[in-house]
Every structure is written in C-alpha cells, then in structure tokens.
Structure 1
Amino acid sequence: MNFKGNIENTLQQLLTQEDTDGDKKITIEDKGSKAFKIILENGDFYTIKGTYHLSNFLQELALEKALGKTEASIPLSKIEEAPTARISRMIKDYFWNDLTRTLDAEGFRKSLGDDKAEDTTQRLYVPATDQEGISYYQGLQQQFPQLDVVVLPKEITPEYVKSINEKPGVLALALQDGKGVPFVVPGGRFNEMYGWDSYFEGIGLILDGRIDLAKAMVDNFCYQITHYGKILNANRSYYLTRTQPPFLSSFIREVYEADPSVGKEWLEHVLKVAIQEYETVWMQAPRHTENGLNRYYAQGIGIPPETEEGHFEEVLSAFKEQSDAEVYAEQSRSTKMHSETKKEFIRKYQSGEIKAPKLDTYFTHDRSLRESGHDTSWRLDNVCADLNVVDLNSLLYKYEIDFGYLIDTYFKGEFEECHGAYWFAKAQERAQRMHALMWNEERRQYFDYNFKSNKQTYFESASNYMPLWAGLVDATNAKKMLHPLLQELKEKGGIAGSSRKMNDQVPEGAVQRQWDYPNGWAPHQMMIWRGLKNYGFEEEMQGLIYRWLWMITKNAVDYNGTIPEKYDVAACTHKVYAEYGNVGTEFDYITTSGFGWMNASYQYGLSLLTSDLRNKLDLLIDPDLLF
C-alpha cells in the first residue's frame, strides 16, 4: 500500500508538526507528537508513528522532490523498512553515487564551487609527465574561465610545494577515453581522492557490486605513483610531499579476486606499479630505517597549510616564548626588548627570517603524523618521525605477502625477475624484526618502537592490533592479544582509537585528539574484525561487529539517517567533541552520501554478522545484554 499526495504540502505539514527545532530533520530531540496522519491511495487513513518512521517518510519525500516530482507515491514498506535493510539500501543505491567524482568536463561542472579554494580561481595542477592530461585540461579552459591549469615542474621539491601554498588546487588524476577515471571521496564536502579512505571504501564498493569504481580507484593510485612518485595523502597541491598508509596490494588483490574479468594484463600492470611504490617510496631513506623497519616521514617546509586557523596555537606560543627568551639572553640587555607579536613571529618563521630548528622538527613530526592517516593522535604527537610504527610495518608485511601470493598464484611463481619465494622471505624477515623490537610479552601486544631511544612506547592503541589483520602473528601470540584488545579498547560501541588509560594520561586542558579515546573509526573496526576472523576468533568478532553496527543503526534511527565520519564509542553518539568536527552530520531532510569508510564498515559488518544478530540489531537490542 502506498501514500500518494502532493510533496510540498505534505513536507510543510510534516515539518511544521514534527520538526520542532527547525533543523529540517526529524530526530529524538524534536518535541512533536511523533504521529502523522496520511491518506493512502485507496482512501484509507494511516498514522505514521515514531521518530524513525517519520524521518523515513521525510527522507522519501525529499528523494521524490529531488527527482523533480510534485506528486509522490511512497510505499509503506519504505516508510517502515527495517533499519539495517534501509541503511544498507541507502548506501548501495544512493551514497556511493553521491560520493563519486571525476576530474573532467562533466566533473568540473559539478565541483567548481570548491570550498577549499582560497579565491575564485579554481586551480588544477597537472604533472609535466602527463602530456595527455596537459592537452585535455588546457583544452577545457575556454569552457571554464575560472579554471587555471598549471603544469608542475618535473622535479617537485619541498621548496616548490611551499611556494604554491597560497595558490592551492586539485592535482590531476587519470584519464581514459577522454574522461576522468572516477573516484569516491570520503564525504559530501570533499572533491579529492584520499589515500587509505579509498581502500576501505573499496571494500564496501566490492560488496555492493561496484567493482568498476573500486578498480578505477586502483587505476588512479597507479597514476599517482607514476606521475607524482607516490600515493598522495590526497590529490591536493599541499599534499605533494606526503603519502598515506599503503594498502595498494590489498586493494589490487581484492579487486582482481572479486572480478578476474578485469584481466590478467591489468593485474600485471598494477602489480608492477605497486612493487615500484614499495621499492621507491618505502624501502628508501628516509622512510626505511637502519634497523630494517619503516617509519612515516613526510617532507615539507613550515606550517602545514591545510590545518584550521589556531590549530597550532599552543605550540607556536611556546616556541615564540622560547625564541624571545633566547634573543633576550643573547642581547644581554638590562631592559628586555619588546616582544614581537605572534603573527609577526609566524610570518618570519614561514619566510625563513627566523631559524627555529626545534620548530622545524616539530612540524616534521606533525606532517609525518598526517602521513600516517592518524591526524591527529597523542600517540604520534611530536615523535612520529622517530617511530617504527606497528601499523605501517604490518601494512608492508602485507605487501610482501600479497606480492608473493599474486606471483605464485597468477604468474607461475615469477614476476619481474623475482620469485614469489623472495617476497615471502622478506615478509618473514620483517615479522621477525617486528617481533624482536615491537612485541611485548608482558603486555601481550605490539607497540610502536622508538629507534632513537631504542624503547617501545607502551601507548595502547587500536593500531597495535593490525598485525592480526596482516596475519603476521603466530596462533599462540594471537590468542594472547585477545585479552588486552578487549580489556583496554572495547567500549559499548566498538573499539576506541586508544585506551581510557592513555586518555587519563593526557594533561588536563589538552586538546582532544580525534583519533584517540573515546572516538572510534571505521578502518580500525574493519581491520580488527578481519584480524579476528583470520585467527578463528568468531565469537569475539561477532560481538565487536554487533557493537559497532548497533551504535551506527541506533544513531541513524534516532537522528534522521545520519551516518557521520566518526563516533564517540563510549557514549555511543555521533556528537563528537574533537578537532575538525564530524563530517556528515549537516544536511537538510536526508543524507545522500553518509561518509565513505563508515558506509563501507556497515556493509562489511553486515556481510559478516550472523542472521540471528542482524535480527536483534533491527530490534536495537542493547549489546551489553547480549555480550
């Protein structure tokens, strides 16, 4: 049975009655009657009851209106759809399409209102090595007068990147047959392709039958390696000196095994590029250290330009005061000279007039932290470049295993003059080094290793368990890791980025870092689920999946379908109080995009959850009553 009626009139009546706070959503915070009477197409009256069903009705009206309709016909089955089915359907049918972008004529028509541009000019930087791209994009300038196409120099130095910080722009990606190769962005306000976001989005895309998009993102990654020398943090000009956590081998393997019809020739090409990335980005200094393990190390000069104003307020104030004191001591004057304003100090530091080696070191650590994808976390603050981190070395172990597997399985054991056995041996060597330097028997987990102090950090974080995802732990130690994982990081809504204990050690009044307790993130959940699955810990995996999906589902039910960037997993809410806000919470009537890897985590979690637990999830049974 369907509702049938005028869209605009119904929308206004519904909002007037139920949207009491005027935010164009119907949530548990509204004080309406929570009951709205409609007329069905057979003339019968029907009352829609409760926040969830009312918000579904609002969303369906908005979808019909977006199609240009004035009259809507909406089945009751959509208004009263089970929560897990509705969220999953919205992700598959709407969110992926809404998050898809292209860098071509069609894409520019949609995205030239880029809110990250500093002025009305929309810049597109194109590699000097991409003649096809240069020709294509320069040819678009007549169609788009505000588009400024800039050809990058062949050698891209930190000095050059700093010189264009005040002229930021998007970096070109791959073209095929005169069209931009598509990619999925993290959230609706983004127009660029992000590094590790893309891999996790790919997991969701493959599950939803969108292998075309997953493959396209692998192709764009290979373009970046070929023309920019690395997979970029994102294709923005100020990220040219920075890469991201390496997931390319996993991405390639999962795309090819999901659909071998993409072709052996494709596999050969992308595997060759992935090996190139491994050898030229990760196995060379400065990212490869003397002990044989790896670190994040992003180059650059000065303050990272993408940060929000005031982000480094405390750091810059401290360094300025220190600088003032040093100048005062050097001058040996009886009366202290007037201190520069902080704004002037920053200007002089940025221009090079003031030399501040300690501040340079701080920003090297800060950029490296951002390269890690964990921007930001107290785990890595002012120390990242000195650490062999568990997450990166787990990822590179996975590269080595994947290379060996793909070569043995699809190339008869030999590829580019290397045998699969060569890569398996490298993986084994890395696992042994990690065990020697990072494994802590007493605490039953891996820790980041400071190669300057030759000590483990003892920082309890979700990334300590990435060896389970990579499969580098023996069965005995994997079982040992269960207890600290569940005791230190498990919260009602899933796994926190760091433990409550680590949070208690943060100085009072310090900024809440978004990758730390109490916040939880989709990639951590997904990797830990797969890690538990690798070792047969089915019960523990099901419990963690249920907690995460329950939190997402309950927030979507209570808050008009909201699927945001991150959650507070202790309070089980999307109302997160941390730096950078929470992308995906601001919309009118309906979210049509959610957030990329959050969408993927939902689809992936549902694919692993038992049917019995999915039924309980639709009833929103509290996880503490089940586990």
Structure 2
Amino acid sequence: MHPRSRLAGLILASLLCTAAATASGPSPAPPLPPDQQWQPLFQQVQGAHLFGDQKTFADAVPRQDPTAVLAQWRSMQGRSADLAGFVAEHFVVPGEAAAYVPPAGQALRAHIEGLWPVLTRTTDRVDPRGSLLPLPKPYVVPGGRFREVYYWDSYFTLLGLASSGRWQQVRDMVDNFAWQLDQYGHIPNGNRSYYLSRSQPPFFSLMVDLLATHEGEAAYHRYLPQLRTEHAFWMRGAAGLAPGQASERVVRLADGQLLNRYWDARAVPRTESWTDDLATAAQAPQRAPSQVYRDLRAGAESGWDFSSRWLAEPASLGSIHTTAIVPVDLNSLLFHLENTLARSSKVAGDGKAARDFARQADARQRAINTVLWDATQGWYVDRDLERGQTRPALTAAALFPLWLQVATRPQARQTAAAVEAQLLREGGLLTTTVNTGQQWDAPNGWAPLQWVAVDGLQRYDQDALARRIGTRFLRTVQAVYDSEGKLVEKYVVDGSAGGGGGGEYPLQDGFGWSNGVTAALLDRLCPSRQRCNTAQDVGNED
C-alpha cells in the first residue's frame, strides 16, 4: 500500500478507535485527553495542520463545555464550515511566549537567577475544560512550548534552584510531585491530561535526596508513602511474572532476573504529536500501527524522544521498538529508588521493609552489572528482548550506573575510558555517536547528561575527565549566551558551539534544565572559596 493511502486509513482507524473509547462510558476523573474529549474535531484540526505545532491545539481550552462545542461543529457538517474560524471562535489557543531579554551586560549566572521568576507558574486552579492539570504549589516550567511542569526535567531544574538558595521552591516542587503520586498513583510525564498514561524516568527519589541535603533525614520519612507508591507503579505486574515474560513496565528475563522497561497505557497516536505519529506508522506497513504508537509513547516516557537507542534501523523512526528494550539508565534509577526506600524505611523504624528493599536493590545491581554490562567492549548497554542480546552502541546512558553507584570500580574505569574515546567532544559530551536527525543523537549534547557524567565520574575518582566534560559544556553554553542572550534546550557539542537541532519541533529557549545544570556546574567546578558567574571564571579544563 502506498504510504499516503496507509496514512489515510490510519486517520480513519484512529477516528473510529477514539469514538469507541469516548462512547464507552462517562468521563472518569482524572479527565480524558483532548483526542478523546474533542473527537472528531480534534483529528480534523490536527489533520488540517492549522497550527505549526500540534501541541498548540492539545493545549487549547474550549470556551464552552466540549460536548456543546462538538454539537455545534456537527451541526455545521455538510455545509461550508470554516474550520479555522470555528476554532478561533470556540477555543482559547495559547500564543507563543514572549522572548525574555536579559539586561545588557548581565553575567550568565545572574541571567539564570533572573529567569526563575519568569519560568514560575501557579496553577492551583485551572479551567477543567482544558488539558492542564492543577498542582497545589508553584512550579518552574522549562520554557518555550513547554508550558507545564515535566517530571525528569524538574530534577535538573531543582539543582539550579538549590544553587540559587531557593529551597522553598525546591520543597514546593517536591510536594507537587508527591501530590501527583497521591492523586494519580504515579507522576505523569507532565501536568496535562494527555500525559497521564505514562510517566518519565523515575527521579523522585533523587529529588528527596536533594531536599534532604537541606532538611535532613526528616525528608526521607516525610515522603516514604509516595516513594512506595512510585515503586509500586514501576513494579506493577511483577508478582507471578514467569521467566521470559513482560507486563507493563516489568520484565522477567529467562534466567529469572527482574528488570524494567518503558511503557504507555495507551496505544494510539500521541495527543501532542497526532499527525506525526500517524505518518510514522504509515511508513512502517509491516508493523501493527498500535505497536508503533505504543513504542513512540514509551520513547516519550524515556525522555529520549527520540534516539537511535530505540530504533531497529537508525534511519527509520517507524522501526522504533522501545518496549522491547531494557534500558540501563531506567534500571539504575530504580536501583536508586530501592536504596532510597531502604533508607527511608530505616529512618521510619521499619526494619523489615528496609531489609526487603535493600535485597531488591542488591538483586537489581547484580542484574545490571551482568545483563547490561558488555564485558567485551567495556561499557554499559541496553538489552534487546526481541533479539535476546545487548545493543552494543555506546551512549551517554552508560554513565548512569556510575552516577547512581551501581558500577564496580573496574567497570567505572572501563566506561570512563570508552566515554573519553568516543563521546567527548570539543563542546561537551555527545548523546550518542550516530547522527540520525533525531534530537537525542549526535551532534547534540543535553544538559542533564552532562551533569550525570560529571557527578558520576567524580564518584569514581575520574576527576580529570569529569572536569573536561563540564568545562567544555559550560563554554558551549556561555558562547551561545554571549551571542544570543539566552540558554536553550540542547546544544551542538560536536564542532561549532550552537543550539542543537533535530527532532519534532524547533529549538526551544528557556530553558529549565539547561539553567539548572549550568548553575550546578558553575558551583561544582569553581575554584574553592570562589563564586563563579561565567564559564571563564571556572578556568581551563585541566
């Protein structure tokens, strides 16, 4: 079948699928996403490409109850209906955020500290007709098209807030994530109804760790219920899982070891990338569209959306098979969660639970250091469940076992040597070694992965390499700031310094986690007893 014909068929199938889901019963709380609430209008608007960014309409708010809006739209069918005019009349559509212009001559750190109020939002009350979900306390958004809080982004934002001494904001954001765990049973990708079917890399335990550096052991006791909820979400389906089987986010390998993968509860196009996902599925006629959608969504849960890490064929997004991959970074994060639960349980006086979580952490560490370690190449890898073998490519995810102290010292030394030889570039750390046009591949470097590298390498006394990575990335950030007056979502680190490219949307300004990591690196790499305000203050990389 011609890809265009297949795409048309997928559009029809998605309409029927969503109609069935909407008609199956009353809307539950939490609310349904727009692709279910507003269909078929939603699909028609997205299919007509009224907006350059498909997220725009997903974030729009109907001026009336969605049922009334749909009734009016249906009454116009068969006549010469002006779709753009109808949307303008019946929806409040978000506009582009005004560009923030820093005061002339402002140093890099001062710019970051000046941005915190600009990026702070308070949405304890929201319009229930829209997709935004309320949060009880203020929070910091990334910026640009990202008008809501994001789960794993926020940990790196919190590093910057802590650097600025904004501990009340740190506490507020951790409280918001705890509230979401209580409200939804997990932390969604972001506070939008269309993100509720998935999470993001589990950083909540690291947020509690960060807050505990300021508040002490009481933080572990306070958030113990939510830490347990987080773990239960990621481990749901583990009980009774037979060797060689997987259920949601849990995988039991043939030898009985238990590890995790990314997943999404829905298997339809992403609300915020609807027509993109339809087109991707149309380019993979040999695969069931629902599986392509699920794997795209799971890739979004990973935070690496998208990367050659998840692709069977690096040049083809349609070959994505995220749910068939056991990722090393995810399992390292869950090792940290289990250790944090052991510590929190001990603080709470529950010795039995502390021992149980410690045993789970030990078992996961053994699995990571065997199943996800490539002894021949000397670095950590992901595992492909479909092929029953590891995926040999070196990526920046290989540093997570160092950062979260999963690795042995010999494994850390070998990983560091491989990273220095293959991923270190003039502007910082590459994400992968291949350039596919996906944003989580070369030549891009991402702020969170620079922090993972620097902090992780220092934990294993690889200080020289850590400093080279950190100072090179700071120089990249400084160069873009000096020339353009802003920080951006991602950077080119392979060659000339500049904003990164690739992916599904234009480069975004802001930017929450770049701000946070830059501030944290200025602190970490600054000569003792000084306060560094620019990359130049940090000095050279040796």
Q: What interval of TM-score do these two structures reach, taking the shorter chain for normalisation?
A: 0.7 to 0.9
Structure 1 residues 108-187: aligned runs within 5 Å: 124=126, 147=127, 149=128, 169-174=131-136, 181-187=137-143
TM-score of the superposed pair, with normalisation by structure 1: 0.63
Equivalence map 1:52-67=2 (5 Å)? 59-60=102-103
Does structure 2 conserve the Cα–Cα contact (< 8 Å) formed by 1:522 and 1:598?
A: yes
| TM-superposed deviation, 1:426 | 1.5
Residue 497 of structure 2 aligns to a residue whose secondary structure is coil
- 1:304 is aligned to 2:246: no
Does 2:392 correspond to 1:458?
yes
Comparing 359-368 with 573-582, greater Cα deviation is found at 573-582
Q: Which amino acid aligns with 2:422?
A: E
> After superposition, where does 1:492-511 map in structure 2 within 5 Å?
492-499=426-433, 502-503=434-435
Instruction: Find the counterpart in structure 1 of residue 290 from structure 2.
Output: 360
* Match status 1:516 vs 2:482: no
Distance 2:355 2:171 in 1: 27
Contact 2:116 2:140 survives alignment (8 Å): yes
> Partner residue of 1:196?
152
- Corresponding residue number in structure 2 for 1:290: 252
Deviation digits for residues 291-313 of structure 1, max 9, x if unmatched?
20000111213211211744653
Shift of 1:473: 0.6
Which residue in 1 is equivalent to 2:374? 440
Partner of residue 602, structure 1: 518
Task: Name the CA shift for 1:620/1:557 in 2 (closer, same or farther; >3 Å).
Answer: farther
Instruction: Report the 3-state secondary structure (helix = DSSP H, G, I; strand = E; otherwise coil) of the residue aligned with 2:303.
Output: coil
> Of 291, 303, 318, which residue of structure 2 is paired with 1:373?
303
Alignment of 1:400-411 (within 5 A): 400-408=338-346, 410-411=347-348
Structure 1 residues 492 and 420, CA, compared in 2 at 3 Å: closer, same or farther? Answer: same
2: CA distance, partners of 1:288 / 1:619: 46
Letter of the 1:557 counterpart: D
Deviations 1:46-105 (A, max 9, x none): xxxxxxxxxxxx8436xxxxxxxxxxxxxxxxx4x6xxxx1112212x111111111146
**Equivalent residues of 1:564, 1:582 under 8 A apart:** no
Shift of 1:172: 2.1
Q: Is the counterpart of residue 529 in structure 1 residue 463 in structure 2?
A: no
What is the alpha-carbon distance in structure 2 between the residues aligned to residue 472 and residue 495 of structure 1? 21
Alignment of 1:258 with 2:188, yes or no, is: no
Amino acid paired to 1:491: R
Partner of 2:61: none
Q: Structure 1 residues 620 and 244 mapped into 2: Cα distance closer, same or farther (>3 Å)?
A: closer
Q: What residue is the counterpart of 2:330 in the other structure?
A: 392
Q: Does 1:549 align with 2:515?
A: no
Aligned partner of 1:618 in structure 2 is: 536
Q: Which of 79, 82, 87 lines up with 2:108 in the alignment?
A: 87
| In structure 2, C-alpha distance between the alignment counterparts of 1:375 and 1:583, rounded to whole Å | 14
What secondary structure is seen at the aligned counterpart in 1 of 2:123?
A: coil
Residue in 1 aligned with 2:201?
245
**Structure 2: which amino acid aligns with 1:100?**
T
Native 8 Å contact 2:109 2:534 kept in 1: no
Q: Equivalents in 2 of 1:579, 1:280: separation in Å?
A: 29
Residue of structure 2 in register with 1:219 after alignment: 175
Cα distance in 1 between the residues matched to 2:506 and 2:497: 11
Amino acid in the other structure paired with 1:609: L
Comparing 386-395 and 418-427, the one that deviates more: 418-427
- 1:270 matched to 2:223: yes
Specify the alignment match of 1:340 in structure 2.
none
Contact 2:221 2:344 in 1 (8 A): no
Question: Identity of paired residues, percent?
Answer: 28
Contact 1:99 1:188 in 2 (8 A): no
**1:312/1:548 Cα in 2 relative to 1: closer, same or farther (>3 Å)?**
farther
Amino acid corresponding to residue 200 of structure 1 in structure 2? F
Query: Structure 1's 59 and 185: CA in aligned 2 closer, same or farther, altered over 3 A?
Result: closer
- Deviations for 1:445-473, whole angstroms, at most 9, x for unmatched residues? 11111223220011221112210011011
Give the distance between the partners of 1:448 and 1:597, measured in 2 at CA.
Answer: 25
SS at match of 2:498: coil
Q: Secondary structure at the match of 1:289?
A: strand
Q: Is the Cα contact below 8 Å between 2:369 and 2:406 reproduced in 1?
A: no
Displacement of 1:608 in angstroms is: 1.2
The 2-side partners of 1:289 and 1:232 are apart by: 21
Task: Summarize the Cα distance change of 1:277–1:473 in structure 2 as closer, same or farther, 3 Å threshold.
Answer: same
Whichever residue aligns with residue 438 of structure 2, its letter is R
Q: 1:579 aligns with which of 476, 488, 503?
A: 503
Change (3 A) 1:232 1:513: same
- 1:617 Cα shift? 3.9
How many angstroms does 1:270 deviate by?
A: 1.4
Measured in 1, the distance between the counterparts of 2:413 and 2:284 equals 45
8 Å contact kept, 1:206–1:258: no
Asked if the contact 2:124–2:135 (Cα under 8 Å) also holds between the matched residues in 1, the reply is no
For residues 616 and 524 of structure 1, the distance between their equivalents in structure 2, rounded to whole angstroms, comes to 20
- Residues 225 and 528 of structure 1, relative CA distance in 2, 3 Å threshold: same
Give TM-score, length-normalised by structure 2. Answer: 0.72
> Residues 259 and 268 of structure 1: is their aligned pair in 2 closer, same or farther, counting only changes over 3 Å?
closer
8 Å Cα contact 2:427/2:473 also seen in 1: yes
Structure 1: gaps spanning 5 or more residues: 1-57, 62-78, 106-123, 125-146, 151-167, 175-180, 323-356, 507-511, 586-593
Cα offset for 1:404?
Answer: 2.2
1:424 aligns with 2:358: yes
Check 1:289–1:317 CA distance in 2 against 1; reply closer, same or farther (3 A cut): closer
Q: CA deviation at 1:529?
A: 0.9
Report the secondary structure of 1:385's partner residue. Answer: helix
- Corresponding position of 2:118: 98
Aligned residues: 419
Residues in 1 aligned to 2:373 and 2:283: alpha-carbon distance in whole angstroms: 38
Aligned pairs (5 A) from 1:8-47: none
Specify the SS of the correspondent of 1:517: coil
Alpha-carbon RMSD across the aligned residues, in angstroms, is 2.5
Alignment-mate amino acid for residue 95 of structure 1? L
Aligned counterparts of 1:269 and 1:575: Cα–Cα separation in 2: 40
Q: Structure 1, residues 485-525: CA drift from partner, whole Å, max 9, x if none?
A: 111111111111101xx33xx5xxxxx10011110101111
Please give the alpha-carbon distance, in whole angstroms, between the structure 2 residues aligned to 1:488 and 1:173: 42
Q: Does 1:209 find its partner at 2:165? A: yes
